[in-house]
Amino acid sequence: MENNRVLLSIENYVGFITLNRPEVGNALDLDMAKELLDVAIFCSESEKVRAVVITGADNKFSVGGDLKSFANEGEDISSLLKSVTGYLHQAISLFARMNKPFIGAVNGVAAGAGMSLACACDLTYATPNSKFVMAYNKIGLTPDGSGSYFLPRIVGVKRAFELMYTNRLLNAEEANEWGIVNQVVSEDELMPVVKDLAEKLASGPMNAFGATKKLFYHSDRESLESQMAMETEYIAQRASSEEGKEGISAFLEKREANYVKGITTR
């Protein structure tokens, strides 16, 4: 996979994605959006990948969209943004819907689409110097990159409006308090901590993780009874799956479950 703006490496069943335009704060342009979709397709489909980590090059996460490249399109800016968001949104949908855990390692500023991407991760870790800002309304724009979907679910509608309307910047500790970040760790420890977590999850019951994602994402559109009906269906399916059989057997036999060897990743 020959990408320049988005790098991918695989180690111990973990796909490590790096946004790679550090000279412009890892800003998202059309080519980066296309490459991110290519990587998302690969990670969601490959049996070599059972967990995914996303970070930014050069101690930067992403400042969001590349406004200079957008403005250069002049009257065609709307058409360009439809293309950029088309690729970006397909990529985020794949990351969100895949069975594999999706972990953010925010190592700098996460602004605009960068913050939306951090919110779209299942789990997000940050360094003390990381900062989070939505940035859209300040320049007369509205959120993209799933920001309007995930942010209100994470922080609540009132706080989401505050972040959008006032352009309030959150430091890492505030983002942790608001639930945007799971944990703040030192710059030196960020990738080791995330790598260790990702490898543990990669050896876990990937399809159960995926089913849990589906239950969580459907919960706000279901009644209590319909959500519990989904829970019944899913747990029954999982109990008779290879993962479920292995997990139950391991528990009863007082041993560690083996969810990787001999178990399909579909």
Q: Do 111 and 228 belong to one domain?
A: no
> 58 with 173, same domain?
yes
* pTM, to two decimals: 0.95
The answer, yes or no, to whether residue 265 has pLDDT greater than 50, is: no
In this predicted structure, the answer to whether residue 2 has a pLDDT above a threshold of 90 is: no
- The residues pairing with 171 across neighbouring beta strands, listed in sequence order, are 131
Both 90 and 216 in a single domain?
A: no
Angstrom distance (rounded) from CA 1 to CA 224:
45
84 and 39 within one domain: yes
Give yes or no for a contact between 101 and 201, defined as CB atoms under 8 angstroms apart. Answer: yes
Average confidence (pLDDT) over 180-187: 98
Same domain, 70 and 128: yes
Q: What are phi and psi of 132, to 5 degrees?
A: -130, 130
Question: Does 222 share its domain with 115?
Answer: no
| Claim to verify: residue 113 and residue 92 sit in the same structural domain | yes
- For 256, the 3-state DSSP assignment is coil
Give the pLDDT confidence score for residue 266 in this predicted structure.
35
Q: Is residue 195 part of a domain?
A: yes
Which of 166, 181, 202 lies at the terminal end of a domain, its last residue?
202
Residue 229 is assigned to a structural domain of this protein: yes
Distances (CA, A) of 43 to 6, 27, 217, 242: 13, 22, 21, 22
DSSP characters over 82-95: HHHHHHHHHHHHHH
> For position 197, what pLDDT does the model report?
98
The answer to whether residue 258 sits within a structural domain is no
Task: Work out how many domains the chain is built from and give that number.
Answer: 2
Compute the distance between CA of residue 261 and CA of residue 36 in angstroms, rounded to an integer.
29
Q: How far is CA 6 from CA 20, 30, 95, 169, 265, in A?
A: 5, 12, 15, 26, 25
Note down the domain range covering 212: 206-252
